[in-house]
Amino acid sequence: MKEIKIDLNKLLKEDKDSISNQEGQTKLFKIAELISAETSTVIKEEVLQQIKRLILTDFSLDEINNLMSFIHYSRLGNDDLLLFLKNYIKINFNLGTKEDATKRGIIIRFIIERNNKLFSLTDLRNEKYLFKHAQWIWTDCISFYDFHIVIDAIADLITDDKNAINNLLLRIPGYLKRFGVDELREAIIRWYPYILSVEDRHKINKWAKQLGIVLGISLHVNSRINEIPLEQEYIFNGTE
Amino acid sequence: MTKKYNHYLNSHGCKILISSGYEKMLENIIEDDENFITEKMKTEFFEFIKDINDEPEVFKLLYEFFDTPKNVPFNKKKYSLKGKIIDGNRIHSIELGRVTRKSTFSIIFINAFIKKIPDAIISINDSETVIDKFLIDPLFGTNIDSTLFCEYVKDVGIGGEKIASYPMWTFEGYDDKVFEGLPIKDLPCILGLPGPEGTEKNYKSDKRIAFSIIVPSKIDVKKPTSFDAGINTVWRPGGKTKPHNECYKKYGSFGLEEYIHEPVTFNEIMSELFEI
C-alpha cells in the first residue's frame, strides 16, 4: 500500500475529486478499495478512529454522502461504527433545516441499511424534521420496517412533489429487491390513481413492464375509480 | 530515453519513484512527444519532485501536480488534456468504448442527483441495485434493448448530467460498433487497466462495467499523454492501449486506439451496460 499516511479529512474535504486512474476512479475511492483489500487491522483501526474524529457538522451534503460511500467501499461499516454514528446524530444535525435534516437522513439510512435493529419504527416516526424536509430519504428508512407506510407516504408524495415519478423510478429496483414483484405490483396499483400526468403514467407503465411487473392497469382503473379524490377524478376522466 | 533529463533521475524524488516500481512512469514522461508535453512541462515536473525525500509526500505532490491548478475547468488545467486533437467528423460518429469500475459508476449515478434533488438522493446500496438491474453478462447476451439504460436515465431526469467529473478515457474497437468482435470480459487485460496501485497487480480486483458512447462534436477528442496517465506504470505512449502480460499470449501486443476527452453525458451512452 503506497499511501499509509491517510488523512481522511483532507481526502474528503480537498482531494475528493483528485483523479486516480483512467477509469475515473477518484483518490478517495481508490483508498477505500485499498483499505477494503488491506489485511492489516492497524490501518483499518486508524481509519476508523479518523472517521470518529471527523467533525461532520462541517461537512457539506456531498461530503457526507462521499463519507458514507467511502465507508461502504472500504467495508468499515461494522456495528461499532454504526453505533458511533447513531450516537453522533443524537446531538448533531438537529437544527430543523432542510440541509441538516437531509444530512441526518443520509446517515440514518446508512445505519439502517446495515443494521435495522439500531433504530425502531417509533424512532423513525419521531424524526419530524427528516419527515418534513427529506421525505424520500425518510421513506427509504421506513422501507426497512414497514412497506405499507411507504406506500401511503409515496401516494402523498406523488400528489405534492413534482419530481415524484423520477424519485420513485429510482427506487423501484431497490423496492423490487426488498419486497418482490407482487408487493410492488400492489403498490404501483395503489399509486397509479394519484399520477395525474399522462407522461408520468406512461413512464410508470413502461418501467413496471421492463422490470417484470405486470400491472393489468386498465382493469384497476375501472375497479378503483371510486378511490380517486374528486379533483383528480375530474382530470383523470378528462385525459382518458 | 532522452538523455537531457537523465540528471533528474538521480534526484531524491525520482529515486523514490524508481525504488517504488514507478520507473516506467518516468520513462513515459521523458519519451512523450514534446510537441504536446513540452520540454518546459517536463522540466517543471522533475523540478517539482526532485528534492522530496519521503515516499508518501512524493505521491501526494504528484496528485497535486497532475491536477494543477485545482478547481478550474478542464480547459484551464495546465497539464491534462494536452494531447493531439483527433481531426475530422469520423471520431464523432463512431461508438467509442468505456470501461469503468462499477463502484465509480454507482457513485457518479448518485452524484448526478445530488445537485438536482439533494433531499431525495438514493443510497449507495440502492444505486448499485439500479446499476445491477441493467447489467448484462456479455457471455450470455440478452433480449434487453441496447438503449434501455439510456432511456431509464432520461426518464429519471439525469440524461443531461455528466458521466464523470474528470476526463474520460475511451477506446476504439475494430468496427464502428465498438464491441463487435471484442471479448468484453477480457477488456481490462486488453486495455491494460491498472489495479489499485496503478500497476498491473490486482488489476482484476474490482468489478467493472463496459459501455459505448458517441462523443458529441462540441467535445474535442484527444490522444492521451503521460501527464493524463499520471501515477501509473501500465500506460505506454504511442496512442494505443498496452495489454497486460497475462493476456499477451492470447492477444499479443496488439492494442486498441485510445482517446481522452472531457466527460460526456448519460444521454451519450449508446449500448447496454456490460458486466465484466
Contact status of A215 with chain B (Cβ, < 8 Å)? no
- With CB atoms and an 8 Å threshold, state whether A69 touches B107: yes
Place of cell 378528462: A238
**CB A2: neighbour CB atoms within 10 A?**
17
Q: What value does the mean pLDDT of chain A take?
A: 86
Lowest mean pLDDT among A208-217, B139-148, B256-265: B139-148
DSSP class of A213: -
ipTM computed for the complex = 0.84
How distant is the Cα of A117 from the closest Cα of chain B, in angstroms?
18
B chain contacts of residue A135, beta-carbon cutoff 8 Å = 119
Lowest mean pLDDT among A196-205, B122-131, B192-201, B221-230: B192-201
Cell of B29: 514522461
Tell whether the torsion through CA atoms of B118, B123, B128 and B131 is positive or negative: negative
Contact status of A181 with chain B (Cβ, < 8 Å)? no
Instruction: State the SS3 of B143-188.
Output: CCCCCHHHHHHHHCCCCCCECCCCCEEEECCCCCCCCCCCCHHHHH
Cell of A188: 404501483
CB pairs under 8 A between A and B: 151
User: How far is it, in rounded angstroms, from Cα B157 to Cα A24?
Assistant: 23
pLDDT in tens, B146-194: 788 999 999 999 999 999 878 999 999 998 889 998 999 999 999 999 8
Residue B90, exposed/middle/buried by CB under 10 A (0-12, 13-18, 19+)? exposed
Contact status of A180 with chain B (Cβ, < 8 Å)? no
| Whether pLDDT at A7 is above 90 | no
- With CB atoms and an 8 Å threshold, state whether B20 touches A5: no
**Strand pairing category for B258-261 and B221-222:** antiparallel
Q: What are the two backbone dihedrals, phi and then psi, of residue A112, each rounded to the nearest 5 degrees? A: -65, -40
Quote the pTM value.
Answer: 0.87
Which one of B125, B129, B169 has the shortest CB-CB distance to A22? B169
A chain contacts of residue B129, beta-carbon cutoff 8 Å = 173-174, 177
B chain contacts of residue A142, beta-carbon cutoff 8 Å = none
Lowest mean pLDDT among A99-103, B121-125, B243-247: B243-247
Q: How far is CA B31 from the centre of its chain?
A: 20
Interface mutation target, options A23, A29, A176, chain B, most CBs of B under 10 Å: A23
Over range B42-65, report the average pLDDT: 92
Phi and psi based region of residue A93 (left: phi greater than 0; alpha: psi -120 to 50; beta: remaining):
left
| Whether pLDDT at B8 is above 90 | yes
Cell of B87: 481531426
**CB A101: neighbour CB atoms within 10 A?**
25
**CB A229: neighbour CB atoms within 10 A?**
11
Residue A218: partners with Cβ closer than 8 Å, 6 or more residues away = none
**CB A8: neighbour CB atoms within 10 A?**
20
Residue window 65-124, chain A: list those with CB within 8 Å of chain B: 65-66, 68-69, 72-73, 98, 101-102, 105-106, 109-110, 113
Band of residue A221 on the pLDDT scale cut at 50, 70, 90: very low
Over range A81-94, report the average pLDDT: 95
Q: Which of A79-88, B131-140, B197-206 has maximum average pLDDT?
A: A79-88
| Whether pLDDT at A45 is above 50 | yes
- With CB atoms and an 8 Å threshold, state whether B121 touches A23: no
How distant is the Cα of B211 from the closest Cα of chain A, in angstroms?
12
Band of residue A137 on the pLDDT scale cut at 50, 70, 90: very high
DSSP class of B86: P
- The pLDDT assigned to A1 comes to 46
Q: Per-residue b/e over A49-59, b at no fewer than 16 CB within 10 Å?
A: eebeebebeeb
CA angle A189, A193, A194 (to 5 degrees): 115
Interface mutation target, options A132, A170, A202, chain B, most CBs of B under 10 Å: A170
- With CB atoms and an 8 Å threshold, state whether B124 touches A68: yes
Q: Cα separations (Å) of A82 from A34, A72, A137?
A: 21, 12, 18
User: How far is it, in rounded angstroms, from Cα A22 to Cα B260?
Assistant: 9
Which one of B124, B148, B206 has the shortest CB-CB distance to A69? B124
Q: What are the two backbone dihedrals, phi and then psi, of residue B198, each rounded to the nearest 5 degrees? A: 80, 15
- With CB atoms and an 8 Å threshold, state whether A61 touches B122: no
How distant is the Cα of A103 from the closest Cα of chain B, in angstroms?
9
More confident residue, B116 or A78: A78
Which one of A21, A105, A174 has the shortest CB-CB distance to B126? A174
- With CB atoms and an 8 Å threshold, state whether B196 touches A37: yes
Compare all CA atoms of chain B with the CA of A138 and give the residue at the minimum distance.
B120
Residue among A213, A138, A203 nearest A180 (CA): A213
Alpha helices in chain B (DSSP H): 6-9, 12-19, 23-31, 39-49, 55-66, 102-114, 124-134, 148-155, 187-190, 226-229, 248-251
On whether the CB atoms of residues B139 and B185 are closer than 8 A, the answer is yes
**CB B153: neighbour CB atoms within 10 A?**
22
Lowest mean pLDDT among A205-214, A220-229, B67-76, B109-118: A220-229
